[in-house]
């Protein structure tokens, strides 16, 4: 594994190794001194072309706990808003000796472009690209599910909301399929991409029909602006048909968990009572995010032997 660009690139063994490594690293967070010397002397750049405080600080914490040097580079609002900035920025980072670049970009495929260009030869970690993928989010979601549900093989996972624009949904669908789970995507037809029938998932327009068998329900953020583009008639109608409220939550099996990648639109896709309920593992997802990102950086940059030979 040289880069982490798509959750679909991970084999079941690789994904399991990341999750197992994360489990070990999670224990570090419980120590008084939360730091390992593993990546001492290595430089990791957080290259964020799009605002995302929570993802950036999660990666930053992960890198620092492994003793790496971290450079935060926020390209948003800098003079270069056009594409060539990616090349020039990459060349700059390369010249500074970055061992890994964690990139968040509004353009789908930007991490792939960075990894496959000659502009940089460090490891590239996709921290969310456009409406494409967000593989570390899928890994932390899988980690969270695994810690509550055990082995994910055969588990029923329902993902609800704006699948069309969601990089979280894409990465989760691919990774959960790799791990053997049964994924159902629930959305109004306007928010499912053309060609979704070729994905390794089931789809449904009816949230209520998928509640009773779900081991986990993951609610996706739905931006209110989608309403203005006629993806759905109104926020209220969306909420009635696809929002997770207490009545729907009560129809879930006793062991089922409720997830959300954040940031939440309380009152839109998820009701406040649900978000704050015992079923909700949303805060835990954040904690696990640091451990999973530690595992990814560790395995890419120095931990595993197979990471060294490329």
Partner 1 sequence: MSTVIKGAKLLGEQVADICIEDGVITQVGSDLTGDTVVDATGLIALPGLVDLHTHLREPGREDAETVLTGTQAAARGGFTCVFAMANTEPVADTAGVVEQVWRLGREHGYADVQPIGAVTIGLAGEHLAELGAMADSAAKVRVFSDDGKCVSDAVLMRRALEYVKAFDGVIAQHAQEPRLTEGAQMNEGPLSGELGLTGWPAVAEEAIIARDVLLAEHVGSRLHVCHLSTRGSVEIVRWAKSRGINVTAEVTPHHLLLDDELVRSYDPIFKVNPPLRSADDVLAVREGLADGTIDIVATDHAPHPMEDKECEWQAAAFGMIGLETALSIVQQTMVDTGALTWEQVAEKLSSNPARIGRVANHGRPLAVGEPAHVVLYDPTATRVVEPSDTASLSRNTPYAGRELPGRVVATFLAGRPTVLEGELQ
Active site residues: 54-55, 82, 104, 134
Please report whether residue 109 would count as binding partner 1 according to CB under 8 A.
yes
Residues in 269-288 that interact with partner 1 by CB under 8 A: none
Task: Tell me how far, at minimum, the Cβ of 225 lies from partner 1, in Å.
Answer: 13
CB 198 within 8 A of CB 222: no
The contact mask relative to partner 1 for 140-169 (x = CB under 8 A, - = no) is ------------------------x--x--
Closer to partner 1 by CB, 223 or 250: give it.
223
What single string gives the DSSP state of each residue in 261-288?
-S---BTTTB-HHHHTSTTB-HHHHHHH
Q: What is the 3 state secondary structure string of 147-208?
A: HHHCCCCCCEEEEECCCCCCHHHHHHHHHHHHCCCEEEEECCHHHCCCCHHHCCCEEECCCH
Answer for which of 30, 37, 194, 305 binds partner 1 (CB under 8 A) is 194
Closer to partner 1 by CB, 113 or 221: give it.
113
- The span from the CA of 255 to the CA of 5, in Å, is 33
Give the number of C-alpha atoms closer than 13 A to the C-alpha of residue 66, restricted to the C-beta side.
30
Spatial CB neighbours of 228, under 8 Å, sequence gap ≥ 6? none
Task: Tell me how far, at minimum, the Cβ of 208 lies from partner 1, in Å.
Answer: 25
Beta bridge partners of 310: none
Closer to partner 1 by CB, 47 or 66: give it.
47
Q: Which range in 111-119, 202-210, 219-227, 257-265 contacts partner 1 by CB under 8 A?
A: 111-119
# chain residues binding partner 1, by CB under 8 A: 28
Residues in 63-102 that interact with partner 1 by CB under 8 A: 82-84, 86-87
Q: Interface with partner 1 by CB under 8 A: which residues? A: 82-84, 86-87, 105-110, 112-113, 116, 129-133, 164, 167, 170, 193-196, 198-199
């Amino acid at each position: 594994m040289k880069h982490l660009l798509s959750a679909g690139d991970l084999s079941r063994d690789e994904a399991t190794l990341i999750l197992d490594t994360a489990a070990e690293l999670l224990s570090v967070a419980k120590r008084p001194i939360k730091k390992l010397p593993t990546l001492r002397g290595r430089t990791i750049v957080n290259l964020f072309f799009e605002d995302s405080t929570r993802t950036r600080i999660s990666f930053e914490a992960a890198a620092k706990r492994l003793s790496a040097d971290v450079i935060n580079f926020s390209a948003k609002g800098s003079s270069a808003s056009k594409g060539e900035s990616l090349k020039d920025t990459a060349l700059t980072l390369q010249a500074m000796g970055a061992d890994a670049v964690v990139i968040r970009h509004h353009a789908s495929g930007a991490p792939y472009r960075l990894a496959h260009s000659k502009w940089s030869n460090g490891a590239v970690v996709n921290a969310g690209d456009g409406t494409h993928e967000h593989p570390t989010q899928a890994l932390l979601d899988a980690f969270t599910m695994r810690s509550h549900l055990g082995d994910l093989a055969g588990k029923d996972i329902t993902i609800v909301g704006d699948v069309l624009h969601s990089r979280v949904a894409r990465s989760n669908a691919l990774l959960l399929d790799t791990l053997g789970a049964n994924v159902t995507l629930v959305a109004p037809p306007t928010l499912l991409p053309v060609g979704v029938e070729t994905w390794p998932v089931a789809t449904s327009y009816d949230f209520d029909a998928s509640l009773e068998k779900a081991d986990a329900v993951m609610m996706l953020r739905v931006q209110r602006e989608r309403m203005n583009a006629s993806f759905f008639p109104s926020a209220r109608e969306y909420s009635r048909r696809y929002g997770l409220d207490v009545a729907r939550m009560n129809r879930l099996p006793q062991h089922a968990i409720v997830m959300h990648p954040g940031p939440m639109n309380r009152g839109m896709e998820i009701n406040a009572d649900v978000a704050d309920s015992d079923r909700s593992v949303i805060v835990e997802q954040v904690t696990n995010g640091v451990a999973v990102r530690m595992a990814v950086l560790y395995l890419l940059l120095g931990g595993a032997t197979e990471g060294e030979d490329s």
